[in-house]
Amino acid sequence: MRIHCLTMRQLGHQGKVVIFIFAIWFAKQLRDLIFSKSWEPISAPCRPHTHVMFLKTHKTASSTVLNILCRFGEERGLRFALPLGYQFGYPLPFKAKMVKGNNESNRTQEFSIMGHHMRFNKSEVEKVMPPDTFYFSILRDPALLAESSYTYYKAVAPAFKQVQNLSEFIDDPWHHYDPRLRNNHYARNLLWFDFGLPHDANFTAELARAGEAEVRRSFQLVLLAEHFDQSMVLLQHALCWPLDAVVSFRLNARQQRAGSSAQPVLSEEQRQKLREWNALDWHLYRAFNQTFWAQVERFGRERMDREVGALRSRREELAQLCLQDNGEMIQARHIKDQAIQPFQSGLDPILGYNLSPGLDNATRDICLKMVRPELQYKDMLDAKQYGSRKQQYQRSSSTQPSPKHTKRIKETRSLGRR
């Protein structure tokens, strides 16, 4: 102690000032680290995941997520596990033989990305995807999902065919529903079915917990459609992907017809009945809703708000650049480029976009990827990967950029590398 005191005296007045300032700075840094509400853990740089399996559930914004995977893989030359058609034998349980080019005895290249519709079968997926594959999926409130499912699958699900509108089905679902009939899985516990869980069973707490546990064992991340932007932030960090990789435009959305005879606005009581009817789905949704928000808390609420804001700003920036009419979604018949007209199914029109005129080739190519519908994207990837299918959806000829786009195009040259 005596030596310390002598040393301090030897420093003189200026030395004491320096030490005092340093002590204040250090105390402030320590306080900020301990008490900051937006504390972010320091972590080593991560490596982007390039082996990814997405279980594409129905009517959950999953077409938008699939577009994200297609863009990421295409831009990096990754190999896709593609179906022979547009789905992996759905609604049959997935088998490895349903993957195009999957000759296990003579496969020279591994698959990196898988994401088209299937009824999940983990043991068979593992025959196709590498051991270090990242598995994720997405859920939606079963009441909202049921509304969308009714509109989209009314013509194919016997339970929906029999009724004039969804309200009639809600009043007495057992009168219209027979689990033995093909395609009636669209009318009850559709998420449960997509996850490959036993669909013909009624709800019991034991069954629900067992199904939840099975999903937790198989998937590292389960997203929520109602909180899509927060989901994309979690996904971005889980995969260690750049921001632009998870920025997207809404795809495969239907035109709302509120109050129409075919699709009336449902009351909260009716939606609660739908949750009870889809009780197994409702259990999954509630369980993973809790998990989702626990993940957000660990991530940091303020940090999440900042990153959601950045994602939305980037989406708006790209919409202003890429899309006509401020990004307004329009019916397919109004889309000038037939190559990006979405497939139509169900009661309501499926909407899409017109690209801005005057984009240069490079910028237009980036924008085109973001609005390319699912079926066209699959055909294009198939043609690139195997060369066995004539590409059906050619990009229409590009034009020279208009003056109003010139500056913004220069600023966006690097967006594909972010």
Residue 397 makes CB contacts below 8 A (sequence gap 6+) with none
Which residues are bridge partners to 215 per DSSP?
Answer: none
Using an 8 Å Cβ cutoff, are 245 and 68 in contact?
A: yes
- Average pLDDT taken over every residue of the chain: 83
In DSSP terms, 114 is beta-bridged to 53, 81
CA distance from start to end of the chain: 56
Question: Which domains occur in the chain, in start order?
Answer: 52-317 (3.40.50), 318-417 (no CATH)
Confidence check: pLDDT of 259 > 60: no
The whole-number pLDDT of residue 342 equals 76
pLDDT score of 393 more than 50: no
- Span of 22-31, 51-60, 351-360, 403-412 with lowest mean pLDDT: 403-412
pLDDT at 329: 77
Give the residue ranges of DSSP H helices in 329-402: 361-371, 374-386
The pLDDT of residue 262: 44
Task: Kindly provide the b/e burial profile for residues 50-60, where b requires at least 16 CB atoms within 10 angstroms of the residue's own CB.
Answer: bbbbbbbbbbb
**Structure confidence at residue 20 as a pLDDT band (50, 70, 90):** low
Q: Is the pLDDT of residue 1 over 90?
A: no
Q: In this predicted structure, what is the pLDDT of residue 12? A: 60
Task: Give the pLDDT confidence of 3-19 residue by residue, as tens digits.
Answer: 444 444 554 655 555 55
Would you list the DSSP string of 234-296? HHHHHHT--HHHH-----SPBPP-TT-SSSPPPPHHHHHHHHHHTHHHHHHHHHHHHHHHHHH
141 Cα distance to chain centroid:
15
Q: What is the pLDDT of residues 184-230, one digit of tens each?
A: 999 999 999 999 999 878 999 999 999 999 999 999 999 999 999 99
Residue carrying the six token digits 């057992």: 174
Q: What is the dihedral of CA 185, 114, 123, 218, to 10 degrees?
A: -80
